[in-house]
Amino acid sequence: MVGWEPDGKPFRKLLNQNTDIPAEASRVHGYTREILERDGEKPVQVYREFAEYTGNLPLVSFNLEYDLDEVLKPEWRRLRVASIGSQGLCALRLAQRLLDPVPAGNCKLQTLRQYYRLPERGAHTALGDVQTVADLFAQVLRPIAGHRGLDTWEKLVEFAAEEWYPSRIAFGKHKGRLFQEARKDAELRRWLDWLASSSNARSAKMGRWYLHQLEIKPQADGTLFAAPPSKSKGKRAEKPGAVEFAALVIYVNPELAEFRQLVAGARARLAELETDYTKEKSRVDAMQAILFRRLREHYQKRDRLRLIVDYRRKYLNSLIRGGDEEAKQAEENYERAKAQTDKDYEETAAAVAKKKKLTAEEEAELKRLWTKLVKLFHPDRFAHEPDKLETYHKLTSAINRAKDAGDIKTLREIADDPHGFILRQGWTSLDFSDTAELAQLRRLHETLQLEIITVLESLNQLRESPDYELCRISERKPGVLDELAAERKKLLEKESAELEADASRLSEEIKELSGQATTGIS
């Protein structure tokens, strides 16, 4: 980097450590031992080249303490390689401080990338993550740092190294609250006093830091609100009270009009993320439905045999411990468990029958629907009206069920006529019109931001799941599902054969002890 911008070509090498790589790790980053043996290089040679590339320049990393102190330095000692570069600053700690309280909910690199709409690099690859950190520096952190007067390397290093704790309390009875509220909230102030007097040195240090900050007079310009970048780049804000940069808007003391813009932007972002999640989930669900239909009879046979083996063991234990009466109870319990298992499979089959990949027309409609549905999001509006809050919870539950099931018909029904949907259910009517009160808009913006983070994390979890990776592979290579189904069928048949052997052995044991066959547990 030169200043805030990347310069020259990146240094990228694959190291061959001649060791096996766990399958779960390979699913994330895509590298196998075979790939590294083919394309990798000897570590000592790579580090020699890296030393030449780096010179004595400071190293910056997103979590420097871990990457440098726990990974690289021990590795260099093991290989008897001299330390490379010099210790710079931690980009994670810098981001945590500059973005505090973090509007994206957390400072995970991929969460920040999606929240601030940074370019999509190769997630979970070394180069992709480095490029994302560079994007974060240039487009997000730079304008905020400049606004705070952090315009030199030395100032940034000092700022990142200072003692600091998040404004939003991360634990305990006041989790999620801003510590500054203790200036007006006596209970929160007492809790901070208690924390500062803790026998735990780390907790006490944190508490004393919070109390010291409370003694510092707040800055006159108020709180900084870092919003996702607007689509218009390079323009200066025309409205007073707002400062706009190329990829970030910083609002200073936002009034009613600015908060309406923030709420509108948050709603648009939430609608976009909900659309993405529903589309991606439908792809995974459609793939899982194909596998379930192909393998249902084999899974059901395996699970039925598991149940038989489990309850024959219970039957034997009951027979030995409590005699025929207790054994009869175990048999009745088995019949109920068997009926429940069969019911579960039928319900799953019925749900799977509805699973399908969305068409291009349905995906286009999703965006329209979610744009309408996010306007219904306002939980704080009904906080002090129990009957209306109950209706609101029922409505959001109906929306979430429809989302999880890919039920566009129900989403359409709610989005196009929420009042009619509520009346048809016999619920208390709700008013979804926007309030003009600044305090309520502030709360709405905060709850929208929290909901954005919830959906972002759900989307990330989905995209990091083995099922999602399998879905992507199967879309590129349709024959993969056939191969996987055949492989799983063999494993299930093998497991079923072993269970049948166990069931037969237990049946003989029951017959020997009781003088009769296993009756219902068969």
Give the per-residue pLDDT at 230: 44
Give the per-residue pLDDT at 362: 86
Cα–Cα distances in Å, from 351 out to 292, 354, 376, 405, 481?
11, 6, 27, 8, 20
pLDDT digits (tens, 9 = 90+) for 21-39: 887 777 667 788 888 899 9
Cα–Cα distances in Å, from 176 out to 203, 211, 288, 421?
17, 17, 37, 34
**How much is the average pLDDT of 74-81?**
94
Q: What are the b/e assignments for 353-370, b being 16+ CB within 10 Å?
A: eebebbeeebeebbeebb
* pLDDT-derived band at 435, boundaries 50, 70, 90: low
**How much is the average pLDDT of 487-511?**
92
pLDDT digits (tens, 9 = 90+) for 275-334: 999 999 999 999 999 999 999 999 999 999 999 999 888 888 888 877 777 778 888 888
Give the per-residue pLDDT at 54: 94
User: Cα dihedral sign for 213, 214, 217, 219?
Assistant: positive
Q: Where are the alpha helices (H) located in 216-255, listed in sequence order? A: none
Q: How far apart are CA 314 and CA 329, in angstroms?
A: 10
Give the per-residue pLDDT at 379: 79
C-beta separation of 37 from 17 below 8 A: no
pTM of the model: 0.59
What angle, 0 to 180 degrees and rounded to 10, lies between the N-to-C axes of helices 408-416 and 360-373?
40
Tell whether the model's pLDDT for residue 347 goes beyond 50: yes
Tell whether the model's pLDDT for residue 232 goes beyond 80: no
Give the per-residue pLDDT at 224: 39
pLDDT digits (tens, 9 = 90+) for 393-426: 999 999 988 887 778 899 999 999 999 999 999 9
Mean pLDDT is highest, among 144-153, 396-405, 457-466, for 144-153
Give the per-residue pLDDT at 415: 92
Tell whether the model's pLDDT for residue 234 goes beyond 50: no
Lowest mean pLDDT among 21-30, 41-50, 118-127: 21-30
Give the per-residue pLDDT at 461: 87
**How much is the average pLDDT of 481-486?**
89
* Residue-wise DSSP of 269-285: HHHHHHHHHHHHHHHHH
Q: How far apart are CA 136 and CA 118, in angstroms?
A: 7
**How much is the average pLDDT of 437-453?**
82
**How much is the average pLDDT of 448-476?**
87
pLDDT digits (tens, 9 = 90+) for 252-270: 444 677 778 888 888 888 9
Q: Where are the alpha helices (H) located in 354-465, listed in sequence order? A: 360-373, 386-405, 408-416, 418-425, 438-463
* pLDDT-derived band at 519, boundaries 50, 70, 90: low
